[in-house]
Amino acid sequence: MKTLTLLTSGVALFAASMASANEDLMTQMDNASQWAIQTGDYANQRYSELDSINKDNVGDLQVAWTFSTGVLRGHEGSPLVVGDTMFVHTPFPNIVYALDLNEDGKIKWRYEPKQDPNVIPVMCCDTVNRGVAYADGKIFLHQADTKVVALSAETGEVLWEAVNGDPSKGETNTATVLPVKDKVIVGISGGEFGVRGSVTAYNMETGEQEWRAYSMGPDEDILADPETTTHLGEPVGADSGTNTWEGDQWMIGGGTTWGWYSYDPEADLIYYGTGNPSTWNPAQRPGDNRWSMTIMARDPDDGMAKWFYQMTPHDEWDYDGINEMILTDQEMDGEMRQLLTHFDRNGLAYTMDRVTGELLVAEKFDPVVNWTTGVDMDPASENYGRPAVVAEYSTEQNGEDVNSTGICPAALGTKDQQPASYSPKTELFYVPTNHVCMDYEPFRVSYTAGQPYVGATLAMYPAPDSHGGMGNFIAWDNINGEIKWSIPEQFSVWSGALATAGDVVFYGTLEGYLKAVDSETGDELYRFKTPSGIIGNVMTYEHGGKQYVGILSGVGGWAGIGLAAGLTNPNDGLGAVGGYAALSDYTALGGQLTVFALPD
C-alpha cells in the first residue's frame, strides 16, 4: 500500500487532513497500484512505492504493449490509471481515450473535442497538453482553447464545460489542472501575447467559477491582503501588484500560470509559479514587474495569498517561474522542516519553508549559470532574496538592438516544465536539465491583442567548455544545495522523471530513449529506444499483480518545435530551431504510448 510518506521518521504528511482534501482522489492516490494524478501525489514527488521492478532486475524490462494516439506533435504529461482503466490524452485536438486494462487496452470510450484550429498559431511552443486529472468519478481536461471539460470517467459523457479564456487575445492552455477539495484549479498560457496571468477555481460539480487570482494588478485582483500576505516575511503592502509597473503595463504583464500545482492539506495551501513578464524586451517595462516570476502560496477555498516570493525581479531573459514545487518534510539544521523545493528556469534551485515562505537555500544547479553571481541570503540586507545580476549578461543594460552573447542558461532555462522526482529513501531530487546558453537581442515591440508580444531575437547552443551535449540528468541535495551526481546527455532532458521504491529512477531523452538508472549512483541500468523523442513523463502502475512502466513518446515541445512544426529558420521557435537542428538526425514525429514490464 502506498503512503505519501515524506518524513524520514515515517510520518505521513497528508494522513491527518484527508477530510479536508478531496477524499476520493486521496484514496486513489494512496493506492500505489494506480497513477491517479499527473504529479504522482499532491506533493509533486513523482515517487512510487512499487518495487517489483528494481535495480536488480530492471535490465530485463521488455515492451508489454503499445498504443498509438493517432496524433503527431509533442506528447507531454502522462496517462492516468484509476482502477482498471487507463486514461490517455493527446496534444491538440486534445483527444482523451479510456482504455480497459482488463481487455488488452480496448478503447472503452473516446472524447474528441471540436476546437477551432486557429488556436494553433496562438500557442507559443507547440500544441502540447500535460494531461487530464481525475476526482470524484470525473476526468477533467483543460483544452488548448481554454475550455475546461468535466467528463464521466465511466462513459466519457460531458458533465459540464467552462470557458477559462479567450484565444483571440492570445489566451490558451497547455497545462493539466489540480483537483482540490470541491474545486478544480486551472491556469492560463499566453505570456508571449501579453496575457495577464491568472489562476482560477471552478466548482467540481457544477463548473461554476468560484474565484480568480491574477498574477499582477490591484490587491482585489491578485487576492492579496497588504498586511497579512508576505514576501520574505514582510507584508507586501498596498498595491504590490501594480506599484512596480509603469502606468497600466500590468494589464498586459504576462505572469502566466501554465506549470504544475502542489497542495499541502495540512497547511491547506496550494503552490504554483508565475511566468515571465511581457514583453521580453525589459527596457519597455521598468521596475520589478511583480508578481511575475513568483512562487505563490494560496488558500484553495478563496484563493487568498499567504505568501509570495519573487525569484527573478524584472526578468530580462524569459526565465519563466512555472516549474513544479516539490513538498517534503526533512531534517535541516537539526530540526524537521516543512519544505518546498523548486528548480527554476533561471538556473537556481530554491529550498523554502512552505508554510512561512522563508528562503533557506538558493544555489545554481548547473555550474555554467552566469547571469547571476547568486542570491543575497542576508536577511538584514536591502537586497535580501534578490539575485545579483552580472552586467555583461544583462540584456537591458546592454541596450535595445544590442545582441548580448553567451548568456547561460538560455531562455528555456536550466530546467523547463518537465518535472523532477524525489525519493524519500535517498532524500535526493532527480532533475532533468538543459545545458544550453544563448544570445539575446531585445527590440521594441508594440502590443496588439492576439498578436505576438515578444520583442527579442534569440539563438541557442550547447554551453561552452562542456561535454558537447545540451543536457544533464542530475541528483540534487536540496539541504546542502549541491549536485550529487550528473549524467551528460547529447540533448536536453525534456521528460519528467520517476523515482521508485525499487531504487530505480526513470527518465526519457529527446532521441527517444527510456532510461533507468540507480537512484544512489546514477549508473545506467536499462535503455530502450521508443519510436519518437520523449518529452512525456514516466509513470508506473500495477495491474493483475504485475508492475508496469509507461511513457508517451512524440517529439515536440519548445526543444522539438522545429521537428513538430516543420520549422527550419534557426531563429524560429524563439531560438530553439537552430539550437536543436541536429535532433532530426535521431528521431521523427510520433505519438505512441509504450508500456514496459518484466517477462513472466
Give kind and range of the element (H or E) at residue 64.
strand 62-68
Integer Cα distance of 349 and 366 in angstroms: 9
318 catalytically annotated: yes
pTM of the predicted model over 0.85: yes
What distance in Å separates the CA atoms of residue 441 and residue 403, rounded to the nearest whole number?
4
φ/ψ (deg, to 5) at 192: -80, 0
pLDDT in tens, 16-49: 343 346 889 999 999 999 999 999 999 999 999 9
Q: Which of 470, 402, 472, 467 is nearest to 439 (CA)?
A: 402
Report the distance separating Cα 83 and Cα 69, nearest Å.
Answer: 21
Distance CA 403, CA 176 (A): 36
Query: Is the CATH number 2.140.10.10 carried by domain 15-597?
Result: yes
pLDDT of the residue at 7 = 36
Q: What is the pLDDT of residue 558?
A: 84
Q: Measuring CA to CA, which residue among 344, 509, 319, 511 is closest to residue 415?
A: 344
Cα–Cα nearest to 181, from 315, 307, 339, 25? 25
C-beta neighbour count of 452 within 10 angstroms: 16
Helix (H, G, I), strand (E, B) or coil at 494: coil
**C-alpha cell at position 503:** 531504487
- Measured between alpha carbons, how far is 365 from 575 in angstroms, rounded to an integer? 23
Letter for the amino acid at 371? W
Separation of alpha carbons 372 and 446, rounded Å = 29
CB 182 within 8 A of CB 301: no
- Cβ neighbours for 490, distance < 8 A, ≥ 6 positions apart: 468, 469, 470, 471, 509, 511
Buried b (16+ CB within 10 A) or exposed e, 369-394: bbbbeebbeeeeeeeebbbebeeebb
23 DSSP assignment: H
Distance between CA atoms of residues 460 and 14, nearest Å: 42
The span from the CA of 567 to the CA of 157, in Å, is: 38
Q: Determine the Cα–Cα distance for residues 303 and 363; give it in Å rounded to an integer.
A: 30
Closest CA to 341 of 369, 314, 360: 360
Task: Please compute Rg for the chain using Cα positions.
Answer: 22
Output the pLDDT for position 466: 66
* d(C-alpha 362, C-alpha 383), whole Å: 14
Distance CA(178)–CA(314), nearest Å, equals 29
Q: Three-class SS string for 390-452?
A: CHHHCCCCCCCCCCEEEECCCCCCCCCCCCCEEECCCCEEEEEEECEEEEEEECCCCCCCCCC
**Averaged confidence pLDDT in the chain:** 94
Q: Which amino acid is at 115?
A: Q
User: Catalytic one among 264, 318, 320, 416?
Assistant: 318
Which DSSP string do the residues of 70-87 spell out, in sequence order? S--S---S--EEETTEEE
Q: What's residue 281's pLDDT? A: 97
User: In the chain, which stretches have pLDDT less than 50?
Assistant: 1-20
Is 91 in contact with 139 (CB distance < 8 Å)? Answer: no
- For the chain, the structural domain boundaries read 15-597
Longest dimension (CA), the chain: 67
User: Given this model, what pLDDT does residue 21 score?
Assistant: 60
Predicted confidence (pLDDT) per residue in 262-310, tens digit: 999 999 999 999 999 999 999 999 999 999 999 999 999 999 999 999 9
State pLDDT tens for residues 339-381: 999 999 999 999 999 999 999 999 999 999 999 999 999 999 9
